[in-house]
């Protein structure tokens, strides 16, 4: 069969090598973007006087019909004709419908810039969907925070009990990370907001295309700086893969926390039966498989980023076929990320907090910092207070007792600054109530943060509508 470049060759390419180089089976995802870019290009050619109004009209009608057919019946975008890529598919379909006018569409344009514009258009329509899915995961954390009410739990550093926090404060810590992922995707949108067309294969185009008009048609706010750069630039693919990788790192850490916290050892939350699996051998098991898969799949997305950076690093300036490798990484990262966002939202949305267990774990020696603060309030320098409380903790560990079991006399054996009020001052609830900053676990601060997160979710939803 004839290819987009057959004229120069005496014979057909080797069938296996042609199949090896073909990208149709994955770049067919760019179908609607390719048609969109081509419609705009034809209009640009017509405005520049390169295409007659009749030809431009025929191309526009032909492309519109191809788009409608492809959207109505995805199986239409099939490799039945052995097309090398989606660009070849669309052009062949067009020519088969309108003949010679279709053969004029590619005037002054290269597939090098076409794939660059298609991929940008694709990301411009897919990124908001990913941002909405991140919103879904944040919503599941917010729902669980509402359900947790004023329940307390320990926070951990080094996976050792640190200080009491509200369960909702812990949940909002993960929401804060996910919200950065939304912002990071917005930064990718800003990076790709640039029209590559007009760059030709590498040196620019010899036709008087109004690139500003073309940019406006396609929704880009600026023009690429340099045609050679356009030809070989896939930085934005790396940026997207980086956003996806960090997004997956965040989901993996959420998964890890809930794998631990739903275990028999912690018992802080109960996994819904619908979000767990059993063992074929051990009847008692309730395994958190979906969370483990989310954690596991993070490695795969990070692998796409690392692999893509390695693919780019040795390339000479301009387009090289190596760049075709961008798409499978990008699409798989997108699919994996979306799948994991959905799974995380579903598992987290079905968790039940176990307030009695988390509250019990939030009492005890993790109030030591509050005891030190008590002494500071009575005038002792913090370093000295730390020393006093350290030795008190050593004693209690030896006696297997807690702060709440000490008599006032026993407190005073460690410092004369301890008074009767120490017994009511050192409780988990007092500990969180004493916090004063807006980012702290103080109940008022957390209520405000929860309300602010709900407003953020509404705003995300509003932008999507």
Q: What are phi and psi of 415, to 5 degrees?
A: -165, 135
Contact status, residue 202 vs residue 318, Cβ threshold 8 Å:
yes
Contact 305, 242 (CB under 8 A): yes
CB of 321 to ligand ARG, least distance (A): 6
End-to-end CA distance of the chain: 46
Residue from 38, 112, 336, 415 touching ligand ARG (CB under 6 A): that is 112
Q: Look up residue 150 and give its two tokens.
A: 């004023």
Rounded CA gap, 141 and 174, in Å?
A: 8
Decide if residue 89 touches ligand ARG (CB under 6 A).
no
Query: Binding of ligand ARG at residue 320 (CB under 6 A)?
Result: no
E-assigned strands of 213-328? 222-223, 269-270
Return the number of the residue (240 or 418) whose C-beta is nearest ligand ARG: 240
Site string for ligand ARG, 382-421 (x = CB under 6 A): ----------------------------------------
SS3 259: helix
Could you tell me the smallest distance in angstroms from the CB atom of residue 66 to ligand ARG?
19
Beta bridge partners of 222: 194
Per CB under 6 A, the list member of 29, 111, 234, 297 interacting with ligand ARG is: 111
Residue nearest to ligand ARG (CB): 324
- Asked if 117 is part of the footprint of ligand ARG (rule: CB under 6 A), the reply reads no
Stretch that binds ligand ARG, among 98-106, 110-118, 189-197, 442-450 (CB under 6 A): 110-118
Q: Where are the beta strands (DSSP E) in 206-297?
A: 222-223, 269-270
Q: Does 324 interact with ligand ARG (rule: CB under 6 A)?
A: yes
Judge contact between 237 and 304, C-beta under 8 A: no
CB of 454 to ligand ARG, least distance (A): 42
Query: Least distance from C-beta 329 to ligand ARG, angstroms?
Result: 12
Of 52, 78, 221, 279, the active-site residue reads 279
Task: Let me know: does 262 contact 354? Beta carbons within 8 Å.
Answer: no
Query: Given the complex with ligand ARG, which of 89 and 319 has the nearer CB atom?
Result: 319
For 392, the token pair is 């008190």
Our answer to whether residue 231 is catalytic in this structure is no
- 156 forms beta bridges with 161
Contact range with ligand ARG by CB under 6 A, out of 107-115, 190-198, 294-302, 386-394: 107-115
Active site residue 279: yes
Q: Which of 137, 153, 291, 323 binds ligand ARG (CB under 6 A)?
A: 323
Residue 57 or 318 with smaller CB distance to ligand ARG? 318
Q: Which of 331, 342, 237, 233 is nearest to 294 (CA)?
A: 342
Catalytic residues: 158, 279
């Amino acid at each position: 069969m004839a290819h987009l470049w057959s004229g120069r060759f005496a014979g057909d390419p080797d069938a296996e090598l042609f199949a090896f180089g073909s990208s149709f089976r994955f770049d067919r995802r760019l179908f609607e973007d390719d048609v969109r870019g081509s419609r705009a290009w034809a209009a640009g050619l017509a405005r520049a006087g390169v295409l007659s109004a009749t030809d431009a009209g025929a191309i526009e009608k032909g492309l519109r019909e191809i788009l409608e057919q492809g959207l109505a019946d995805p199986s239409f975008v099939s490799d039945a004709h052995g097309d090398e890529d989606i660009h070849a598919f669309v052009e062949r379909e067009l020519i088969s419908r309108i003949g010679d006018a279709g053969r004029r569409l590619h005037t002054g344009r290269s597939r090098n810039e076409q794939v660059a514009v298609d991929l940008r258009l694709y990301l411009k329509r897919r990124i908001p969907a990913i941002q909405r899915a991140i919103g879904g995961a944040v919503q599941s954390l917010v729902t669980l925070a509402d359900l947790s009410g004023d329940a307390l739990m320990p926070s951990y550093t080094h996976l050792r009990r640190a200080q009491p926090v509200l369960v909702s404060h812990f949940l909002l810590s993960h929401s804060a990370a996910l919200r950065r992922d939304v912002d990071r995707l917005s930064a990718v949108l800003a990076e790709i907001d640039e029209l590559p067309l007009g760059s030709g294969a590498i040196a620019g185009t010899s036709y008087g295309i109004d690139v500003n008009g073309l940019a406006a048609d396609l929704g880009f706010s600026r023009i690429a700086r340099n045609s050679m750069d356009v030809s070989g630039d896939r930085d934005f693919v790396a940026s997207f893969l980086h956003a996806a990788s960090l997004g997956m790192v965040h989901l993996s850490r959420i998964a890890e926390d809930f794998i631990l916290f739903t275990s028999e050892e912690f018992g802080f939350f109960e996994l819904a039966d619908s979000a767990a699996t059993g063992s074929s051998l051990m009847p008692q098991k309730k395994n958190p498989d979906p969370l483990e898969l989310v954690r596991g799949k993070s490695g795969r997305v990070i692998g796409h980023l690392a692999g893509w950076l390695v693919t780019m690093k040795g390339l000479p300036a301009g387009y090289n076929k190596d760049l075709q490798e961008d798409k499978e990484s990008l699409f798989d990262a997108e699919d994996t990320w979306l799948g994991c966002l959905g799974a995380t939202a579903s598992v987290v949305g079905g968790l039940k907090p176990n307030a009695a267990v988390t509250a019990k774990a939030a009492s005890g020696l993790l109030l030591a910092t509050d005891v030190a603060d008590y002494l500071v309030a009575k005038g002792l320098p913090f370093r000295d207070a730390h020393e006093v409380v350290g030795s008190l903790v050593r004693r209690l560990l030896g006696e297997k007792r807690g702060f709440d079991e000490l008599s006032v006399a026993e407190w005073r054996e460690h410092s004369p600054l301890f008074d009767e009020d120490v017994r009511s001052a050192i409780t988990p609830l007092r500990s969180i109530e004493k916090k004063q900053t807006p980012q702290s676990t103080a109940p008022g601060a957390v209520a405000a943060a929860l309300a602010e997160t709900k407003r953020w979710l509404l705003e995300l939803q509003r932008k999507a509508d």
